[in-house]
Amino acid sequence: MKKSPNHRLSDQVLFALGRASQHAQRLVRQHMTEGGVRTLHYHVLASLADDGESVQATLADRIGMDRSDLVTLLDELEELKLLARRVDAADRRRKIVAITPAGEKHLTDMDQLIYAAEADLLAPLTAAERKTLLALLRRVSGD
């Protein structure tokens, strides 16, 4: 990551966190691209794996995505056999989305790409510093 010029906020935690977040996002995109996968696919599959199957509209809200954009993404994932959709028996107008076993495996592979991006990001830190950083970030985020 390039050093920031003498920005008026360079000695503020929020500025440093923002810069670190931008760098982390770049690394994740880089690793995902090199791995031949899409970051948006990860968000959908991770939500389904972690939070369970979902009605399409609820899934869109969960991952903060426009509902019409999500349909295109779900079509891609369904074509790849990474998720399955079925009609909701309670309301035939709605579709329920669930991750498939192939989707679970693909998600595990994508997790490895994220772990690699994190390793790159945290390379300058010792194991103890990484642990401390995580604990501090959890405290300030309320986790």
Are 9 and 15 within 8 A, CB to CB? yes
pLDDT in tens, the chain (143 residues): 555 567 777 788 899 999 999 999 999 999 999 999 999 999 999 999 999 999 999 999 999 999 999 999 999 999 999 999 999 888 988 999 999 999 999 999 999 999 999 999 999 999 999 999 999 999 998 87
What's the rounded Cα separation, in Å, for the pair 129 and 32?
26
* Whole-structure pTM value: 0.83
Are 79 and 64 within 8 A, CB to CB? no
* pLDDT the model gives residue 141: 87
